[in-house]
Structure 1
Amino acid sequence: MSTLFTFPGQGAQRPGMLHALPDHPAARATVAETSAALGEDVLALDSAAALASTVAVQLCLLTAGVAMARCLLAEGARPDAVAGLSIGAYAAAVCAGVLDHADAVRLVALRARLMEQAYPRGYGMTAILGLERGPLERIVAQVCAPASPVYLANFNAPMQIVIAGAEAAMARVAALALAAGAHAAKPVAISVPSHCALLDAQAAGLERAFAGVAVARPRLRYFSASAARELRDPARIATDLARNLAVPVRWHETMLLARECGVRLAVEMPPGNVLTRLAALLPGDGIAVACADTRLDSVVALSAREAARQPGRD
């Protein structure tokens, strides 16, 4: 295996992300398909004002990821595997043939509404940089209480961990973490407490919604960033997708898995390059690129080069 397509999560969004997609038939068709499934023009959600909504953010990220992946596939790119961080897992599932795009749009719209309605204000996520899991875990345990909930949420790298919870509780954890030697504590552009037990009820509602959705066996290797393992069973993937908003993201472990499986090229879908900066785990001659920073034809050429290096592939 050689090429991995990665799909970013909430926090990577930027105004104009859909308008910046390549002028390509596959991108235009994906935007149109999203709009048809929504019953409204998704491009209207792609502005700074609209992206204040969790619903707009998640739908735009889904559309951007699927659109770019389809552009690359149409031009001859040949991914072997996919992985998505949080909402990115839905775009990864569409790319791998697990979910129909229209179904993914409807599920993501529901997911985002459930999250936004549960925590309209006063909650969020904060990245703690420069402190290992053990010390941070102890600080979180010290602060977390029914009146001040806060949890470990994203394990992006050994020294980059995201916490989720109430704003006051996160501020207390951040202060204690900085006093314990953390380099920085930075709020993430997410207005809900994702990837923790605060969203258990919303995950259960999403699981019920999946009961009426067709889910297929993946055509590409599907790496779950919640389980940090490859999943093949459609029912298991459906449960993983439904539950991923309420369980921690194990992105670092997932990238270790990708390296062990032979990934040499990691290609990040738009709109940013956060996952590319976290992909330092590839072999010494491996490469990670972000579509937002790289020409479409260059990404296709890199994919072709990696495919040519694999025995048994044309």
Structure 2
Amino acid sequence: MSTLWAFPGQGAQQPGMLHGLPDAPVVRACLDQAGAVLDEPVLGLDSADALRDTRAVQLCLLIAGVACARLLLERGHRPDYVAGLSIGAYAAAVIAEALDFADALRLVALRGELMQRAYPSGYGMTAILGLDLSRIERLLEQVNSAAAPVYLANINADNQLVIAGSHTAMAQVAERARAMGAGAARPLAISVPSHCALLDAPAACLAEAFAQVEVRRPKVRYLSGSSARLILDADKLRDDLAYNMCRVVDWHSTLQTAVERGVRLHLELPPGTVLTGLARRVFSAGTVVAFQGTRLDSLDALLNQAEGLDR
């Protein structure tokens, strides 16, 4: 059966996430490489205080995902597909051998700085559960304004959506959503309004930096978390990575595409288990597992079985 390695996005971060990585030479080498490229001790990025900074969060997610994926690669495993939610796309591109890890580190550091600088306060993201897309879109039309902008940001499931914008506008949408029967409307641990037009300008700046970096055709099939389509071309991948910060994430459709293409084992790389919960709704006939909290020998057995069936 085909396998998908999925890399989580911002909001999945956890204090100590780099300190808690498996103690293996390939993981330590990954941490050392990141420290050398960034010219800073990367184990200082995952404290609760440090994770208040968008740059630190995004770097930790990249490093954790690449380190654990490299550990699995060293143990003889290889994904059939990779995909990443938002910043997770960078780790996916590294594992697909389309983007060098060193370049990814520099680009992600810049990405986080651009996003934080554009909206240092007063903005963020809110998850709304229990309402469908059409009703959320109607609420956004009612509330959105130049003074208090708010937009659709993520389609995580058919009834789990994320909005982005000013705190004032999001609070209005959340209040109206609850009145319409939403099960929950809660702010996320994200301090910038990602995946909407508010980040058009930072994305354009990042694209300029991407123009100076080599991006190659993926050696592993790469599914875009924005378009939910397979990307085979290097230039299209460059565009997908540079601009994903200002494009709606359609993770629900990405998972559906994976299932339609024969994926039956979904593995979530660290940190966390957020994507695993979302995948269970779609992979009803498959296997869904998170790296975090699963023994390595159990992961080996699952991946060996899937790879054996695929052959």
TM-score by length of 1: 0.98
- The answer to whether structure 1 residue 89 and structure 2 residue 93 are counterparts is no
- Report the more deviating stretch, 33-42 or 120-129: 33-42
Counterpart in the other structure of 1:63: 63
- The answer to whether structure 1 residue 240 and structure 2 residue 263 are counterparts is no
Counterpart in the other structure of 1:123: 123
Residues matched between the structures, number = 311
Superposition pairs of residues 1-314 of structure 1, within 5 angstroms: 2-310=2-310, 313=311
Q: What's the offset of the Cα at 1:286?
A: 1.0
Mark the CA change 1:283 to 1:148 in structure 2 (over 3 Å): closer, same or farther.
closer
Cα distance in structure 2, aligned partners of 1:238 and 1:300: 32
Letter paired with 2:237: I
Letter paired with 1:260: E
Q: What's the offset of the Cα at 1:282?
A: 4.8
Q: Would you say the 8 A contact 1:11–1:188 is kept in 2?
A: yes
- Report the more deviating stretch, 284-293 or 96-105: 284-293
Structure 2 portions without partners, runs of 5+: none
SS in 1 for 2:279: coil
Q: Would you say the 8 A contact 1:6–1:269 is kept in 2?
A: yes
Cα distance in structure 1, aligned partners of 2:221 and 2:281: 19
Cα distance in structure 2, aligned partners of 1:296 and 1:108: 28
Cα distance in structure 2, aligned partners of 1:246 and 1:283: 28
Cα deviation digits, residues 152-175 of structure 1 (max 9, x gap): 000000000000000000000000
Cα deviation digits, residues 97-150 of structure 1 (max 9, x gap): 010000000000000000000000000000000000001100001000000100
Q: Would you say the 8 A contact 1:264–1:282 is kept in 2?
A: no
Cα distance in structure 2, aligned partners of 1:297 and 1:20: 18
SS in 1 for 2:280: coil
Q: What's the offset of the Cα at 1:301?
A: 1.4
Q: What's the offset of the Cα at 1:79?
A: 1.0
Cα deviation digits, residues 201-253 of structure 1 (max 9, x gap): 00000111001101111111100011110000011000010000001000000
Q: What's the offset of the Cα at 1:76?
A: 1.5
Q: What's the offset of the Cα at 1:78?
A: 2.3
Cα distance in structure 2, aligned partners of 1:76 and 1:186: 40
Q: Would you say the 8 A contact 1:45–1:51 is kept in 2?
A: yes
Q: What's the offset of the Cα at 1:293?
A: 1.5
Q: What's the offset of the Cα at 1:26?
A: 1.2
SS in 2 for 1:3: strand
Displacement over 2 Å in runs of 4+: 280-285
Q: Would you say the 8 A contact 1:217–1:234 is kept in 2?
A: yes
Q: What's the offset of the Cα at 1:280?
A: 2.2
Cα distance in structure 1, aligned partners of 2:215 and 2:288: 30
SS in 2 for 1:293: coil
- Report the more deviating stretch, 175-184 or 290-299: 290-299
Structure 1 portions without partners, runs of 5+: none
Q: What's the offset of the Cα at 1:46?
A: 1.1
- Report the more deviating stretch, 279-288 or 80-89: 279-288
SS in 1 for 2:165: strand
Q: What's the offset of the Cα at 1:285?
A: 3.8
Cα distance in structure 1, aligned partners of 2:297 and 2:19: 19
Cα distance in structure 1, aligned partners of 2:294 and 2:15: 19
Instruction: Tell me how large the CA RMSD over aligned residues is.
Output: 0.9
SS in 2 for 1:185: strand
Q: What's the offset of the Cα at 1:284?
A: 4.0
- Report the more deviating stretch, 272-281 or 163-172: 272-281
SS in 2 for 1:264: strand
Letter paired with 2:43: L
Letter paired with 1:134: S
Cα distance in structure 1, aligned partners of 2:44 and 2:205: 27
